[in-house]
Amino acid sequence: QGGVGLALCKRLLEEDDELHVCLACRNVGKAEAVRGALLASHPAAEVSVVQVDVCSLQSVLRAAGELKQRFQRLDYVYLNAGIMPNPQLNIKALFSGLFSRKVIHIFSTAEGLLTQEDRVTADGLQEVFETNVFGHFILIRELEPLLCHSDRPSRLIWTSSRNARRSNFHLEDIQHRRGQEPYSSSKYAIDLLSVALNRNFNRRGLYSSVVCPGTMVTNLTCGILPPFLWTLLLPIIWLIRFFANAFTLTPDNGAEALVWLFHQKPESLNPLTKYLSATTGFGSNYVTTQRMDLDEDTAEQLYQNLLELEKQVRVTIQKNK
């Protein structure tokens, strides 16, 4: 409906205006408005809407059922929904970072700058984990019949982050109940899950990739700082962009890696690589890569843990019917 998701839809339709784009959104009213705007500029396209809230497993299951009724296959699924609830800026870390040798790294990744207050959802899961990881995982599981085909591959493209840190993720606490950086933990879990999905599904014609859209000013990030602080920091950010390519700033720039992957043959991609949207100091977009800091055994263990959690959750859903 907004941010990088809307920018991605616009850019994909500019690449091929006869695509069928399905907007999977929580707010149907806003999605219908976006649909109308996309069709107005690309009348040859097909644009449809399905309502889904990945923070509600009942909603995910209902949406998956609806998609299976509408479509015989899905070629690309962009898994872009995400939240960072009540982000708190560590002012001390911000100002100490400004005057350290790691200033570029800290601003590019937000490492150590943000903490979040998580909460438990109606499904009994941590909200960030369910929204950013588990809701998507259940959706993929439900849509396997539309994604796994022998004739040509289907693609999963996850929105991860440069903020995905190994140190913030623990297999014994995959929901990050005991930590203060659930967003970073969830993004690291996405990286692991993508690797595990490739190990388990490539032979069935399904390929997974992860991207980072960079640091953008969107609804997700605007609430982190008061408006006057954004005003003060933007000149610094523009200056840093000459030295750090992570500051894409706009959703259109942030969508660069997501659009680039649309054109790639998945068999040629390294499953251990993260694809990063980047922008030069003069505003030119390009894609760079980063080897993910993970091991495949941990990825497989997370996958098995998610399958086990899925069983438990489905039993609970059945009991509550």
* Per-residue pLDDT band at 39 (split at 50, 70, 90): very high
Measured on CA atoms in the order 252, 52, 67, 192, is the torsion positive or negative? positive
pLDDT at 145: 97
Q: What span, in angstroms and rounded, lies between the C-alpha atoms of 177 and 272?
A: 27
Q: Give residue limits of the domains in the chain.
A: 52-320
pLDDT, residue 147, reads: 98
- Of residues 76, 78, 183, 188, which has the active-site annotation? 183
pLDDT in tens, 170-223: 999 999 999 888 999 999 999 999 999 999 999 999 999 999 998 876 555 555
CA pair distance 277, 265, nearest whole angstrom: 18
Q: What is the pLDDT of residues 252-276, one digit of tens each?
A: 999 999 999 999 999 999 999 999 9
Looking at the DSSP bridge assignments, the partners of residue 49 are 23
Residue of 109 and 209 predicted with greater confidence: 209
d(CA 278, CA 166): 22
Give the span between the Cα atoms of 16 and 96, in whole angstroms: 47
Query: Region 136-142: what's the mean pLDDT?
Result: 98
Alpha-carbon distance of 249 to 237, in angstroms, equals: 9
Cα–chain center distance at 296: 20
Cβ within 8 Å of residue 141, ≥6 positions away: 310
pLDDT digits (tens, 9 = 90+) for 284-307: 999 999 999 999 999 999 999 999
pLDDT at 126 over 90: yes
Q: What is the pLDDT of residue 232?
A: 72
Arithmetic mean of pLDDT over the chain: 88
Q: Over 90: is that where the pLDDT of 124 sits?
A: yes
DSSP structural state of residue 249? B
Cβ 158 vs Cβ 211: under 8 Å: yes
Q: Judge if pTM exceeds 0.85.
A: yes
Name the fold adopted by 52-320: Rossmann fold (3.40.50)
Q: How many CA atoms lie within 13 A of 32 on its CB side?
A: 4
- Is residue 105 scored above 60 in pLDDT? no
Q: Looking at the predicted structure, is the pLDDT value of residue 229 above 80?
A: no
Q: Which residues contact 181 (CB under 8 A, 6 or more apart)?
A: 114, 115, 116, 165, 168
Among candidate residues 220, 218, 227, the one with its CA nearest the CA of residue 87: 220
In the annotation, is 303 catalytic? no
In whole angstroms, give the CA distance from residue 264 to residue 176: 34
Reply yes or no on whether the pLDDT at 106 is more than 60: no
Cα–Cα distances in angstroms (integers) from residue 82 to residues 55, 145, 267, in the given order: 10, 25, 27
Of the segments 83-92, 226-235, 266-275, which one has the largest average pLDDT value? 266-275
Highest mean pLDDT (candidates 223-232, 237-246, 274-283, 311-320): 274-283
